[in-house]
Amino acid sequence: MNDRFRTPVSPKRYRLMLCLRSLLFFGAGVMVGAGLLLYGQVRFGLYIHDEVENTFFLWRAIGEATYFLQDPETQLALALHEFDKSYLLESRRIGVTLMIIGGLIAFVTPWIQPLGWRRPGRAWTRRTRSG
């Protein structure tokens, strides 16, 4: 029998820990991806907000008066300009927070082990009362 791949952990517990690690790693990736998506959308929104803000006020007034005649990109820019900038900044903070928390979870996930077991060297050993 090949003892190289045997572990002192029961197979059920091993599969449970494997599933837990996989789900945590998957959840961390989803959080990082959602944070990146939100952060990118907010950066785009801030860019559009600044572009509309820097447009000559008369052109902006004409664009708002003829809103229904404008192309979709101009309509989007005029609609995003109506949002307060503080909403975009708060959304940016949320995106960065999602990325940080997801990254921390992804960093810590490989160290999740079954309780009662430690790995002092290369082989798993059961903890005893003395050690």
Ramachandran angles phi, psi of 24, nearest 5°: -65, -40
DSSP result, 56-83? -HHHHHHHHHTGGGS-HHHHHHHHHHTS
The 3-state DSSP class for residue 13 equals helix
Rounded Cα distance between 85 and 52, Å, is: 13
Which pLDDT tens digit goes with each residue over 16-68?
Answer: 888 999 999 999 999 999 999 999 999 999 998 888 888 888 888 888 888 88
Which pLDDT tens digit goes with each residue over 83-109?
Answer: 888 999 999 999 999 999 999 999 999
Supply the pLDDT for residue 1.
Answer: 46
Q: Where are the beta strands (DSSP E) in the chain?
A: 117-118, 125-126
Task: For the chain, give the number of residues.
Answer: 131
